[in-house]
Structure 1
Amino acid sequence: MQSVRLHLQKLAILLLLPLTGISCRSGSLFDYNDELRSVALTDYGITFRIPGRWDVSLSRDRYFQFVAVYREGSEPLAVLEYRGLDTEPRDQRSRDLYASGWYDAMRLNYPGWKYANRDKDADSRSFTFEGSYIEGTVRYIKIGQLRFRDRRIHAIYYTAPEEEMDQYREVFQTIDGLIQYTNGQPR
């Protein structure tokens, strides 16, 4: 457990370095035991910066086009999932309707799903939630971000076991803050 905390402290420092303009390498990687790497999903107009030790899978054929997982042993402790669509509801009413279905899908897909909060930011055309569900004997916390950008829908999910979420929340927030969209806009 202490090694996880130490790793998370180092990771948080690493993830915050780009925000201060300090880097040890040029390009998209930042040096330390756990380099950041860029994952550009050009078909969806989004680029993620994630820790280098996280496992990555990309697929056009699966529900999530991009999944990044941090494991300790065989246990996944932190998961980032992304699904993008090439269409965007044009007005706020249509976005609200789409988000309503997005919120409802959580209850259908996760046993025992409970929302802790749901929020909307009409100015940034974004919706968020935090909720929990049980898988086996473990309760997980899932944070969802739904963003409408450049005629695309971006659904981003961050998941960790409930007992680990406090340690990973800052990492998730930092990863989320480093997202770049095709037009160069930050999240």
Structure 2
Amino acid sequence: MELQNELEVATFAGGCFWCTEAVFLELNGVNKVVSGYIGGKTINPTYKDICNGDTGHAEAIQITFDPNIISFGELLEIFFATHDPTTLNRQGNDIGTQYRSEIFYNNEAQNQLAEEYIALMIKENTFGKPIVTKISAASKFYEAEDYHQNYYNQNKVQGYCSYIITPKIEKLQKVYKDKLKK
């Protein structure tokens, strides 16, 4: 019997999507990462629309992954290790509801795993502060403009990338080297 290669989708908001996209593109088992917008009321939002935080959308990434290579639980672990889930509507100097920490589950198993993962981190006081990450059912995901896709890899020398994203990638490469693409 042949093993079917069923891909799954995970949707995370953890601040600037350039940062989160760059992290997850490095992982073995991740086939595709798309930057976009989710969780708001505006239809077909643009970057300009969401910048003031009034649309309700979060900058987010949609990850297509092979659960036979990397599990949703492993993606959750890396999500929480590479952003601050204790700051409300903020990641570093990026401030506003569009930079919130939120998991948008695509099925009930993801919802349950996210709930259990956060409960465990609260019980173990992992961050020493309350976790503000929301868990919501995935709504329509709108792909961001082309220039936002694979932004870090195309703009590594740009100031924001070199000072904010490169240290996240270096941490990922050090701590999760067994999970990286070869």
TM-score class normalised by the smaller sequence: under 0.3
Q: TM-score, normalised by structure 1?
A: 0.26
Please state which structure has a larger fraction of its residues in helix: 2
Q: TM-score, normalised by structure 2?
A: 0.26
Please state which structure has a larger fraction of its residues in strand: 1
Q: Which has the higher contact order (CA 8 A, sep 6+)?
A: 2
Q: Which protein shows a greater Rg?
A: 1
